[in-house]
Amino acid sequence: MHGRVPNDSGAIELLERDEAGEPPSYARGSVEGTTLRLVIPALLLLALPAAGQYAGSQACRDCHPARFEEQSKSGHARALHKDGDRWAFGAGEQAVTYVTRVDDDSYLEHGLSFYARTKALARTPGHADDKGARYLTFEPKSQIMRCFQCHSTGKLRLAAHGTLVPGEPGVLCESCHGPAVAHVRASGGRDNIFNPARMGGVGINQFCGNCHRQPPAPGAETDWNNPWNVRHQPPYFAQSRCFLRSQGKLSCLTCHSPHAALEHNAAAYDQRCAECHPGVKHQTRTAGANCVSCHMPAVEVSAVLRFTNHRIGIYQSKSMVPVR
């Protein structure tokens, strides 16, 4: 498997030596103050993409110019960019959260994020105040590395002074199709590149879930009525009757183009619904409402954030769990 699917070969490649030619201090296992800088745990590495040979998105452009231009305008492509001395996480369709390197050991997630809905700064979700949250680069779970990995493409490197350097900012071609050097050298081919579209609905949902959150394991306790959880699409989608009864035919790609910008026209999604549910007769008055506004209702997480509930179903009141 390629792209964001783990395999047995290890995963993220870090710069082996710093600018002075010495192994980086994390590899030397040095202790400074109370912070133990450790080699990144093997379990973390296995959870991140394989360190293959990445060609870079410009190499894809030569043979796939139309697809490249289309994907370049998508929210995925804008998932990460540099804004002065800080990193901006998010495409800006909902929000942008800023992250800055503090020192050799840590990064700061800023306490104020920019929200598209109000076009203004407000408290970053999950923060108790505006001071921001500090993340240790080399903690066991290394949350900051996961943030960079899911918002960028290719190998995440470690440069001098604990600086994390993404291969390419943004979620580009090889994030989903995997390292493409072999594909480029062969001038194309199906067997030397990974295509998520060949997976069934369950596989695609899990594949997207590598960054958008995996569905819970059977029997795992999940608070489906927590509005903040709705931002994770795969877990809710996996609970849908439509998904469960589709025999693997219904997937994220059924409604969302993997290359184009996010579609905001509800009628486009209604057309997808009609392909499996033609001529539906409702038992209640719908007053001309479209399919998704009723069966995938928007959830107000806060005054500045709203997410679509991907658990397709029949809802009553403002519950986030359908009656069926």
Question: Is 126 inside any structural domain?
Answer: yes
Q: Are residues 40 and 150 in the same domain?
A: yes
Question: Is 2 inside any structural domain?
Answer: no
Cβ pair 150, 63 in contact under 8 A: no
pLDDT, tens digit only, all 324 positions of the chain: 334 433 333 333 443 333 333 333 322 232 233 333 444 433 343 334 444 599 999 999 999 999 999 999 999 999 999 999 999 999 999 999 999 999 999 999 999 999 999 999 999 999 999 999 999 999 888 899 999 999 999 999 999 999 999 999 999 999 999 999 999 999 999 999 999 999 999 999 999 999 999 999 988 999 999 999 999 999 999 999 999 999 999 999 999 999 999 999 999 999 999 999 998 888 877 777 789 999 999 999 999 999 999 999 999 877 899 998
Q: Are residues 39 and 121 in the same domain?
A: yes
Token representation of residue 294:
């009723």
Q: Are residues 44 and 142 in the same domain?
A: yes
Question: Is 93 inside any structural domain?
Answer: yes
Q: Are residues 160 and 214 in the same domain?
A: no
CB-count burial class (<10 Å; 0-12, 13-18, 19+) for 179: buried
Question: Is 43 inside any structural domain?
Answer: yes
Q: Are residues 176 and 47 in the same domain?
A: yes
Query: Which of 185, 220, 245 is a domain's end point?
Result: 185
CB-count burial class (<10 Å; 0-12, 13-18, 19+) for 60: buried
Cβ pair 214, 235 in contact under 8 A: yes
Query: Which of 129, 163, 185 is a domain's end point?
Result: 185
Give CA–CA dist 154/53, Å, rounded.
Answer: 9
Question: Is 20 inside any structural domain?
Answer: no
End-to-end CA distance of the chain: 36
Q: Are residues 181 and 37 in the same domain?
A: yes
Residue that has been written with the tokens 């359908």 in this structure: 322
Q: Are residues 44 and 164 in the same domain?
A: yes
Q: Are residues 95 and 155 in the same domain?
A: yes
Tell me the chain's radius of gyration from C-alpha atoms.
21
Question: Is 12 inside any structural domain?
Answer: no
Q: How far is CA 259 from CA 57, 105, 152, 154, 197, in A?
A: 13, 36, 15, 18, 12
Task: Tell me how many domains the chain contains.
Answer: 2
Question: Is 297 inside any structural domain?
Answer: yes
Token representation of residue 188:
């194309």
The counts of H helices and E strands in the chain are: 13, 15
Give CA–CA dist 286/68, Å, rounded.
Answer: 40
**Predicted local confidence at residue 285, as pLDDT:** 77
Q: Are residues 29 and 75 in the same domain?
A: yes
Residue 241 structural domain: 199-308
Phi, psi of 81 (to 5 degrees): -155, 160
pTM of this prediction? 0.83
Q: Are residues 38 and 123 in the same domain?
A: yes
Question: Is 4 inside any structural domain?
Answer: no
Q: Are residues 102 and 214 in the same domain?
A: no
Q: Are residues 50 and 169 in the same domain?
A: yes
